[in-house]
Structures are given as C-alpha cells and as structure tokens.
Structure 1
Amino acid sequence: MWDRIKPLMPVEPVRGRRWANRRRTLETIAWKFRTGSPWRALPDELGSFQTAHKRLLRWAAYGIWERILAALLAAADGVDDIGWTVSVDSTVCRAHQHAAGARIKGHHGTTSG
C-alpha cells in the first residue's frame, strides 16, 4: 500500500530541517483514528504526537488526503476491488429536541383571532 501512497505524498523541502519519516507519520495518524485514542496516548514507538497532529492538519490544508483517497479509490475501482455497499444504523441517529416537535417556551400553539 505504501508504494501506492508514497508518490502522492508531499516532497520534503529543500531548505530547513528534515521532516520526520512520512511513512511513520502516516502510520501514526492511521493508528490514532483506528483506535480512537487521544493524541497524547500515542505509544512512544510512533513518535511525537505534536508532529503527527501538525502534519495531519498541514496535509489536510494542502489537499493531500483528498488526493490519496481519490487515487486509491480509482485504483481499487479499476480492478473491481471495491464494494460500494453502505449500511447505516438508525439507532445512533438523534434529532435535536426542536426537530421532534417540542414546544417553544411561552408559545401555546394557538393563534388568537
């Protein structure tokens, strides 16, 4: 998978400090969202959470995530390796109380004529 993603990642700047390993940073971001853990709970072997968080935001601003997703979806769709079935569990959907027809304070629902 990395061989597909690597060409889509931003190149390191010519000047300034070297970036943290892009592959490890990507693995760190994936781990965070896969486990649902807070950023500060990253294991030490994944590196600094500040680096991963900043890179996540920077790559989002540059459109890197959209580019990666589009390329991976196109590749998977091209070899018919993707299923487009979507399932929604309605038990977790909630409406705001006003959407359920709750009364507004001071409003009795009658009109005076």
Structure 2
Amino acid sequence: MARYDLPDEAWTIIKPLLPPEPATPRAGRPWAEHRKIINGMFWVLCSGAPWRDLPEQYGAWKTVYNRFNR
C-alpha cells in the first residue's frame, strides 16, 4: 500500500456511501474504480502536487480531477 492509499478498514466504511456500478453498461466509458480514484485524490491533496503530476497508478489525472469536482 502506498503512503496516501486508503486503508482497508476505512474503505469498508466509505464503499457503501458511493454510487454502485451500473448493472447494465451505458453509453460511453465505464467508470473507473472508485478506490483508485479516491486514492488519487488523497495523493494530490496530501502531497500538494498539481493534478497533472498524479502518478498513473491512480488513473488519468483528468478523470480523478473531474470526479473530485463532482
């Protein structure tokens, strides 16, 4: 687990609060994995780095940024 990644105990609390994955695929791309996106948000907020410097392990910086702004 990376320094800014959400621990499993915290994830079990947060996961039920997030919207579920759609049962049937809709038009467009499927949503990225919630946990990866949230860990990317924590990385940016804790490190103070710009969104564009987000490591690829958290997904595309633009995806994480857009989800953060929702």
Partner residue, 1:102: none
Partner residue, 1:55: 67
Between 31-40 and 6-15, the greater mean CA deviation after superposition: 6-15
Structure 2 Cα separation of the partners of residues 54 and 20 of structure 1? 12
- Secondary structure at 2:19 match in 1: coil
Q: Which has the higher contact order (CA 8 A, sep 6+)?
A: 2
Does 2:21 align with 1:12? Answer: yes
CA RMSD of aligned residues (A): 1.2
Q: How many residues align?
A: 58
- Give the structure-2-normalised TM-score: 0.74
Q: What is the percentage of aligned positions where both structures have the same residue?
A: 41
- Letter in structure 1 aligned against 2:14: I
Partner residue, 2:47: 35
- Letter in structure 2 aligned against 1:8: L
- Regions of 4+ moved over 4 Å: none
- Give the structure-1-normalised TM-score: 0.48
- Letter in structure 1 aligned against 2:49: S
Partner residue, 1:46: 58
